[in-house]
Each structure stands twice: as C-alpha cells, then as structure tokens.
Chain A
Amino acid sequence: EVQLLESGGGLVQPGESLRLSCAASGFTFSGYALSWVRQAPGKGLEWVSFVSGSGGTTYYADSVKGRFTISRDNSKNTLDLQMNSLRAEDTAIYYCAKEGYNWNYASAFDIWGQGTMVTVSS
C-alpha cells in the first residue's frame, strides 16, 4: 500500500525552529517528486514547497522562502521540511504529498499523508 506518514509537529514559540519528516512506503521513492502543503485551522490549502525525485530541484512559496528548507533522503525514503523563524501565521496542518504525474513541477498530488499539526504561539 502506498503510504505517507508525517511526524514532527508540535507547539513552538515565534522565532523558533521545527523539523517535519515524512516517511514513505509502497512506491519507488526516488522516482517521484514530493511537496509539502499546509492548511491553517478552518482555512484553505496552501502549497509550501516542492522537491524533485533526485532532490536537485526545489521550489518554495513566497511566504516561506528563506525560512523553510525542503530536502529528501532517497536512501531512507524520507522527506523533511526544516522550518526556521516560525511565525504565528505558519500555524497549520502540514501534509506531505506525492506528485502523481509530473516529474519537474508541483502539479497534481495523488497520495497525501494524514498531516501533522504545527502550532506557533507564545
């Protein structure tokens, strides 16, 4: 079964850092691009970041550029999101999502994890 499982969420104070992880199983991990997508409580979806299958290409939303870093370890089938200088507006459920049909860009996510909650509050 194809599966994504996020971890690492929690409560942090503004300005602090947090690292999210996503463990993948059931598919050839290095063959697919991945993204992080977030959803603030009661709000819509917001794409956060993309990484290609090799890890060599990354893209970021303007709202997180310079603060967040996406990376992957194809030997461990894991995807990470390093989040620095966290702000209250980063509070959201963070989903990792597998790109289904495009190898070079974030386009359509056919598999999603269950999400991990990040709360930024003093």
Chain B
Amino acid sequence: QSALTQPASVSGSPGQSITISCTGTSSDIGGYNFVSWYKQLPGKAPKLMIFEVSNRPSGVSNRFSGSKSGNMASLIISGLQADDEADYYCSSFTNRSTLVFGTGTKVTVL
C-alpha cells in the first residue's frame, strides 16, 4: 500500500488560509469516509485534528476544517497562526482493512 500523496511544504502569512491536499485512490480515500488529519510538532507524538473527513475532536479549534472530493481530501487552516507551524499528516482506511498515512506536509508560517 503506497503512502497517500501530500505536498512536501505549504506556507502562508499570519491570518491567511492554507489548504493541504491528500491524494489517494478509490481503494482508500475515494472509497471510505475514514480520513483523518494529524498535527505533529518536532519530537512530539501526533495530535488528531480531524476525523471522518470533516469532524473535529473536542478541543480542536474551528479554524481547522476538512473535506473530501473523489480520491482527494483536504485540510484547510484558516486564520493561520504561528503555532500552526508543524508537520501535518493525513490518513485513510483502505479496502484491505489497513490504514495508510500521507507523506506529510510541513507548514511554515511566514
């Protein structure tokens, strides 16, 4: 199972909105609404930001939102803040009952 494809880096200025894409296939993203997004700071464990495509866990800012169209999922961060700077990973359930992560995106706040 190949990793889902994410852009290596995305950047934006404070207050702007950015979108991180996550491209898979009909065997994963396109076939199921089990897409999640994680934020990881250096040396720390990942933190769940979005589950089931567009749901936010309790405590996650509503500046984070998710969507899906076909085989591609997206994470949108609005009102970009300095502490949004991190690595972001998508993941998806697959038709083999496994889970696949994305390649990861480094978000830089200019």
Contact = CB atoms under 8 A, between A and B. Distances in A.
B64 interface: no
A59 interface: yes
A101 interface: yes
A62 interface: yes
A112 B103 CA distance: 19
Contact of A106 (B38, B46, B99, B104): B99
Interface residues of A, number: 25
Contacts of B104: 44-45
B52 A44 contact: no
Interface in A59-79: 59-62
A101 B102 contact: no
Most central of A46, A47, A95 by chain B CB within 10 Å: A47
For this complex, into which size category does the number of interface residues on chain B fall?
A: 20 to 34
A113 interface: yes
B75 to A, nearest CB: 14
Contact of B45 (A50, A59, A100, A113): A113
Contacts of A107: 34, 36, 51-52, 93, 99
B62 interface: no
A47 to B, nearest CB: 4
B98 A59 contact: yes
A42 to B, nearest CB: 11
Contact of A108 (B1, B36, B40, B97): B36
Nearest to A50: B99
A114 B45 CA distance: 6
B109 interface: no
Interface in A25-51: 35, 37, 44-47, 50
Contacts of B93: 105-107
